[in-house]
Amino acid sequence: MTTLVSLWELSLLLCLIALLGVAGLLAARLVGERRSRRREDLRKILLPALMRGDAPDVRPSRLARNVAANLTLELAEIVRGSDRETLLQAATSAGAGEELARRLRSRVAQDRLIAAEGLAMFPSYCGDVTRVALADPVPDVRLGAALALAQEGRAPAVGTLIRQLGIGTSENSMLAISLMRDLVKSDPHAVEALLYDLDLPDAVKLAATEALAESGAVDHAPLVEWMAEAAEDDRELRPRIIRALGRLGHPAGHDAILDGLQDNAWQVRAAAVEAAGRAILRVAIPRLAELLGDHEWWVRFRAGEALCRLGTDGHQALHQVASGADPVARVAAKATLAERRSA
């Protein structure tokens, strides 16, 4: 009898728990639907207000700030110039900056990254991004925040930023080159100063060199030539340096490019061939014609491209090789000429 009563009591308890669970789910659904309707209503009010730059006519609340922050992230991608400034002023009034600053401390790294990228657009919150996001334990968040600040021209001192991110040591992402390009736009001389800092790794100096070479902001060819000589034993670094020399086109880098055309590593030869074409190095035409018979396809392809860049003399060399005795070089030259005729 006692066991039967216990079973009844347990059954009743389970039924009660199930009823409470169902009631909880229904309540949660009602709250969720109400919150979704409220969120949609706020979007309808905030969207035109942000686009016009008006102060939003909504009651300050966490939900309103949340909606304003999401709308700001969406709209900032499609507006530029004065319209963007107007948008950010209205977004600040709606509490978007405050909400993004809160998300900088989210437990989810992706949320922190998006918040840092968005918050970098707000001049008054750049200090928060610098202080919080650049000290984030996740490297991707730190680098993303640095890129966002650099694109806005609000990055901290270049040397400090490079060391804080560990570029060239713990941080070896190719995005570091993009960061350097943005830093060159706002402070080319600070980036140039990195080249003369003996404590920085070669990877940082190479990224700085490439960024400066693309911008044409400073003349640093003698140093680049020295780097090319110093990096002769580094097969991964040397091709990038030689390509940078080609973009510079400075006469001081021509000898390093010509040396690269004789290198045993095909990666270096390919980079030197590309650099010779970019630098319009006509003295390299005989060697480029020889490299049309290189055993590496990529070197032959780049040699054909380089000769095309070198004008009449380069085309003449291509025609000579196309009728020559080397079958490999002959095929490469004919393929290059056929491609140019069809282009």
Residue 9: pLDDT band with limits 50, 70, 90:
confident
Sign of CA dihedral 266, 267, 268, 269: positive
Break the chain into its structural domains and give their ranges. Answer: 40-152, 156-215
How confident is the model over 252-276, as a mean pLDDT?
Answer: 88
pLDDT of residue 300: 93
Element of type H or E holding 333: helix 327-342
The residue ranking higher by pLDDT, 290 or 39, is 290
Residue 285 has what pLDDT? Answer: 93
What is the distance between the alpha carbons of residues 302 and 139, in angstroms, rounded to a whole number?
36
The mean pLDDT value of the chain amounts to: 85
* pLDDT over 70 at 72, yes or no: yes
Q: How many angstroms separate the CA atoms of 209 and 178, rounded?
A: 12
| pLDDT at position 287 over 90 | yes
Torsion of CA 100, 121, 181, 185, to 10 degrees: -160
- Other beta carbons within 10 Å of 283: 10
Quote the Cα angle for 137-174-208, to 5°: 100
Please report the pLDDT score of residue 240 as a whole number.
81
Q: Answer whether residue 1 shows pLDDT above 80.
A: no
Q: What is the CA radius of gyration of the chain?
A: 30
- The 10s digit of each residue's pLDDT in 169-199 is 877 777 888 888 888 888 888 888 887 787 8
Start-end of H helices in 187-291: 188-194, 202-215, 221-230, 238-248, 254-260, 266-278, 285-291
Residue 336 has pLDDT above 60, yes or no: yes
If you average pLDDT over residues 98-122, what whole number do you get? Answer: 91
**Predicted confidence band of residue 207 (pLDDT cuts 50, 70, 90):** confident
Higher pLDDT, 225 or 327: 327
Planar angle of CA 156, 150, 100, nearest 5 degrees: 90
Tell me what pLDDT residue 226 has.
63
How many angstroms separate the CA atoms of 129 and 161, rounded?
Answer: 13
Cα(203)–Cα(224) distance, integer angstroms: 13
pLDDT digits (tens, 9 = 90+) for 145-177: 999 999 888 888 888 888 888 887 877 777 888
Contacting residues for 229 by C-beta, under 8 A, at least 6 apart? 256
* Residues sharing a CB contact under 8 Å with residue 24, sequence separation 6 or more, in sequence order: none
Between CA 34 and CA 40 the distance in angstroms is: 10
pLDDT tens sequence across 25-42: 998 898 888 888 888 888
Over residues 92-112, the mean pLDDT reads 90
Question: Rounded to two decimals, what is the model's pTM?
Answer: 0.65
Tokens of 57: 């006519």
Q: Which residue in this structure is represented by tokens 């032959």?
A: 300
